[in-house]
Copies of this chain bind each other. A is one copy, B any other.
Amino acid sequence: MPDTPRRSESRYGNRPTMKDVAARAGVGLKTVSRVVNGEQGVTPETERRVQEAIDALGFRRNDSARVLRKGRTASIGLVLEDLADPFYGPLSRSVEEVARAHGALLINGSSAEDPDREQELVLALCARRVDGLVIIPAGDDHRYLEQEIRAGVATVFVDRPAGKTDADVVLSDNFGGARDGVAHLIAHGHRRIGFIGDMPRIHTAAERLRGYLAAMEDAGIPVEDSWTSLGVTDPLRVRRAAEDMLRGPSPVTAVFAGNNRVSVTVIRVLAEQTRRVALVGFDDIELADLLHPGLTVVAQDASVLGRTAAERLFGQLDGSLIVPERIELPTRLITRGSGELPPAD
């Protein structure tokens, strides 16, 4: 008898539906809906009966059906590089807080710095009809998103700009921060300054390199090839790069580390040196003040970045923000000792 699927054999375990609640309470389906959604137009007595049935059956509204009907999911997606990175934890958390304030849930995904995986994730989120997306892009071509944006998915890029499409973007001032950090080293007498950063195809890495070069040029210091190392990211290769520039033909007396992962490794390498080498890192690190010397950093505030982006996202959803904008947040130089060491040849 294929036509009598017993409620109790339904595929959701045996989750009661509004229909079941209605039957038990002896009211119509819509009345249950009204009670569940707190709409008015229900007598206290009826409401009580319905509530009783709800509790008795353990009814919980099926949001999938609701979404299908209403068109809004009250959820947003966040695609970032790696949730395990201490930079993204606070960012994610602040996005979540804003979402929560707007009654939305957060779906999280890590792209692992892989453009294909980013796209796969983003499209999966679109298929779930998230109301909006906060994206820390891994790839540099986001034309695949244009259709989605036109279809009404609010979108904000954070930390790095979108590629080949214009959309809201919230960035740190990577160029200015790096320039100031390097200028700080120059002000303390350094001229041979090394730079170790990530692949230049990553916007932040490129900008920070540009900042380094600008500071050097401003000071009239020609940069030697052996002083810069790009695209280096795993600890082993960072180590080698640092060691190389420390004992090259014209060894550096200071290093600018392009991100927190690089900083950590460089700190380890410098700790092994007899010569005192100055260091400024991009991104703050927990306990940086307890190292010897304390680590001087160019700090960006991940949670402000996240909050700003999320607020912008909900601004788009309100309809109050239409024109894509580029917001750039300032960085802050925090001196703790390592960046103030004098050159030691």
A interface with B by C-beta (< 8 Å): 10-15, 58, 60-65, 67-68, 70-73, 75, 82-86, 88-90, 92-94, 96, 105-110, 123-129, 147-148, 150-152, 264, 267-268, 271, 285-287, 290-292, 303
Contact = CB atoms under 8 A, between A and B. Distances in A.
A67 B64 CA distance: 7
B13 A151 contact: yes
Given A86-B86, A107-B107, A264-B287, 18 more contacts: A11-B70, A11-B71, A60-B123, A60-B148, A62-B127, A64-B64, A64-B129, A82-B93, A83-B92, A84-B89, A86-B89, A105-B107, A106-B107, A106-B108, A108-B108, A285-B286, A290-B291, A292-B292
A108 B63 CA distance: 17
A126 B14 CA distance: 14
Q: Is the interface of A mostly helix, strand, loop or mixed?
A: mixed
B89 A83 contact: yes
Contacts of A128: 63-64, 75, 105
Nearest to A303: B84
A271 to B, nearest CB: 6
A283 to B, nearest CB: 12
B106 A12 contact: no
A110 B106 CA distance: 10
A220 to B, nearest CB: 35
Nearest to A85: B89
B127 A61 contact: yes
A96 B108 contact: yes
B96 A110 contact: yes
